[in-house]
Chain A
Amino acid sequence: MTRIMHYINKFFGGIGGEDKAEYPLTVTAGTVGPGRLLAGKLGDAGTIVATIVCGDNTAQYSPDHIKQEIVALLEQYEADILVAGPAFSSGRYGLACAEAAEAAQMYGIQSVVSMHPENPGIDLCPADVIIVKAGESAVDMAASMEHLCQVLVRLTAGRPIDTEELIYCIKRDIRCNTTSRKNGAVRAVDMLLAKIGGKKFESEQLPPHFPRITPAPPIEATGGPVRAVCR
Chain B
Amino acid sequence: MNIATVPRVRPDLAHRLELFNYTVRDLRLGEETNWAEGVLTVNAEALKKHLIAEAGVRRMGIAVARPGASARIGNILDAIEPRVKPDNGQIFPGFLGAMDGTVGRGVTHALNGCAVLVCGSVPGEVASQVVSEAMVDMSGPGARYSPFSRTLNLILWCDFYDDHDPVKRVSVARYAGLMAARWLAAATLDHVPDDIRVYGVPEKTSSIRNGPHVVYICPGMLLSDLHQTFLSGSALTSTPTVVHPTQLMDGILVSGNYDIGATRNPTYLYQRSPIVEALFSYQEKGLLSFMGVIVTKCLIEGFSGKQRSAYLAAQTAKLLDAYGVVISIEECGHAYADLMLTCQACEEIGIKTVLIMAESAGATGAKPGPIAFAEAADAVISAGNMDEVVSLPAVEAIYGGPWSCGRWMIERMALDAMETPLANIFAATSQVGTGRLKGETR
Chain A residues engaging chain B, CB cutoff 8 angstroms: 122-128, 172-189, 191-193, 195-196, 201, 203-208
Partner of A187, one of B144, B375, B381: B381
A127, A179, A192: most-surrounded residue (chain B CB, <10 A): A192
Q: Is B166 an interface residue (CB 8 A)?
A: no
The verdict on B364 contacting chain A, using a C-beta distance below 8 Å, is: yes
Give A125 to B273 CA distance when docked, in angstroms: 38
- Residue-wise interface mask of B (380-395) relative to A, using a CB-CB cutoff of 8 A (1 in contact, 0 not): 1111110010000000
Chain A residues with CB under 8 Å of B287's CB are 193
- Chain A residues, Cβ within 8 Å of B433: 183-188
CA distance A186 to B356 in the complex (A): 11
| Residue B377 at the chain A interface, CB threshold 8 Å | yes
User: In the complex, how many angstroms separate the beta carbon of A19 from the nearest chain B beta carbon?
Assistant: 32
Are B354's CB and A192's CB within 8 A? yes
Pick the contact of B354 from A173, A195, A206 — CB < 8 Å?
A: A195
Contact between A184 and B364, CB atoms less than 8 A apart? no
Choose among A176, A184, A201 the residue that contacts B365 (Cβ–Cβ < 8 A): A176
Report A96 CB to chain B, min CB distance, Å. 16
The distance in angstroms between the C-alpha atoms of A204 and B356, with both chains bound, is: 10
Asked if A195 and B352 sit within 8 Å, CB to CB, the answer is yes
Contact across chains for A192 and B214 when beta carbons are under 8 A apart: yes
Q: Which of A172, A175, A185, A192 contacts B359 (CB 8 A)?
A: A175
Asked whether B366 lies within 8 Å of A183 as measured between CB atoms, the reply is no
Known A175-B359, A184-B383: A191·B354 in contact at CB below 8 Å: yes
Flag if B212 contacts A185 (CB, 8 Å). Answer: no
Task: Pick the residue among B279, B356, B366, B373 that contacts A208 (CB under 8 A).
Answer: B373
- B residues in contact (CB < 8 Å) with A: 144, 212, 214, 273-275, 277-279, 282, 287-288, 323-326, 352-357, 359, 361-362, 364-369, 373-375, 377-385, 388, 422, 431-442
Q: List 16 A-B contacts (CB under 8 A).
A: A122-B366, A125-B364, A125-B366, A174-B365, A174-B442, A176-B440, A177-B439, A180-B438, A183-B274, A183-B434, A184-B274, A184-B382, A184-B436, A184-B438, A192-B379, A195-B324
Question: B437 near A196 (CB under 8 angstroms)?
Answer: no
Pairwise interchain contact B212-A186, C-beta atoms closer than 8 A: no
Report the number of A-B residue pairs with Cβ-Cβ less than 8 Å.
159
Among candidates B355, B379, B442, residue contacting A176 with C-beta atoms closer than 8 Å: B442
Closest to A171 in B: B441
Q: Are B437 and A208 in contact (CB under 8 A)?
A: no
**Given A122-B366, A192-B324, is A179 in contact with B437 using a C-beta cutoff of 8 Å?**
yes
Contacts of A188 in B (CB 8 A): 275, 278, 326, 354-356, 381, 433
Which 10 A-B pairs have CB atoms at the shortest separation, nearest pair first? A185-B433, A185-B274, A184-B433, A175-B361, A204-B382, A207-B373, A175-B365, A205-B380, A185-B278, A174-B365
Give bound CA distance, A127 to B357, whole Å. Answer: 22
Are B366 and A172 neighbours in the complex by a CB distance under 8 Å?
yes
Contact A177 B385, beta carbon cutoff 8 Å = yes
On chain A, the residues within 8 Å of B362 by CB distance are 123
B438:A208 contact, CB within 8 angstroms: no
Q: What chain A residues lie within 8 Å of B388 (beta carbons)?
A: 177
Name the CB-closest residue of A to B372: A207
Counting chain B CB atoms within 10 Å of each CB, which of A176, A181, A189, A195 scores highest?
A189
**A123 and B288: CB pair below 8 A?**
no
**Distance (whole angstroms) from the CB of B409 to the closest CB of chain A:** 18
In the assembly, what is the distance between CA of A124 and CA of B364, in Å? 7
Contacts of A182 in B (CB 8 A): 436
Chain A residue contacts of B379, Cβ below 8 A: 191-192, 195, 201, 203
A196-B434 contact, Cβ under 8 Å, with A175-B361, A205-B369: no
**Interfacial chain A residues near B385, Cβ < 8 Å:** 175-177
Contact at A208–B380, with CB atoms within 8 Å?
no
A126 (CB) vs chain B CBs: closest residue? B364
A205 touches B364 (CB 8 A): no
Known: A123-B362, A177-B388, A208-B369. A185 touches B439 (CB 8 A): no
Say yes or no: A179 contacts B436, CB within 8 Å. yes
B143 to chain A, nearest CB (A): 13
Nearest A residue to B213, CB-CB? A196
Q: How far is the CB of A197 from chain B (nearest CB, A)?
A: 8
A187 to B422 Cα, complex, angstroms:
21
